[in-house]
Amino acid sequence: QITLKESGPTLVKPTQTLTLTCTFSGFSLTTSGVGVGWIRQPPGKALEWLALIYWNDDKRYSPSLKSRLTITKDTSKSLVVLTMINMDPVDTATYYCARVFGVVKWFDYWGQGTLLTVSS
């Protein structure tokens, strides 16, 4: 059974740094073709792709957020960490992690999401 779960703060202040952790089970990030990505969704709005990390440590970022994002993995602990610096109220959203599989890279398993509010 494949599961992913996001964890992190529910509230951060503007200009602070956000650290989110995605802990997963049922698959390995050492398997060829596997990746874990982060997607966010502001309340009542559409999904926004943020970043991806693959089994071979290849990392991809949204160009609009690239200067603020860092994605890393710890395969021994089955987790992926997303760091976002200089948080702003517009970053208020539910943040999801999801597994990517295959050459075509669809998101086949998603975490439950974690709601983050950015406010002073």
Partner 1 sequence: EIVLTQSPDFQSVTPKEKVTITCRASQSIGSSLHWYQQKPNQSPRLLIRSASQSMSGVPSRFSGSGYGTGFTLTINSLEAEDVAVYFCHQSESLPQTFGQGTKLEMK
Residues of this chain that bind partner 1 (CB under 8 A): 37, 39, 46-49, 52, 60-64, 96, 98, 104-108, 110-113
CB of 23 to partner 1, least distance (A): 15
Return the number of the residue (87 or 98) whose C-beta is nearest partner 1: 98
Give yes or no for a contact between 47 and 41, defined as CB atoms under 8 angstroms apart: yes
CB of 113 to partner 1, least distance (A): 6
Which candidate, 6, 1, 34, places its Cα nearest to that of 96? 6
The Cα 48–Cα 20 span in angstroms is 16
Return the number of the residue (19 or 105) whose C-beta is nearest partner 1: 105
The Cα 83–Cα 51 span in angstroms is 10
Query: CA angle, 118 as apex, 113 and 120 as ends, to 5°?
Result: 150
CB of 46 to partner 1, least distance (A): 5
Which candidate, 15, 28, 32, 17, places its Cα nearest to that of 80? 28
Return the number of the residue (15 or 117) whose C-beta is nearest partner 1: 117
CB of 105 to partner 1, least distance (A): 4
Return the number of the residue (16 or 21) whose C-beta is nearest partner 1: 21
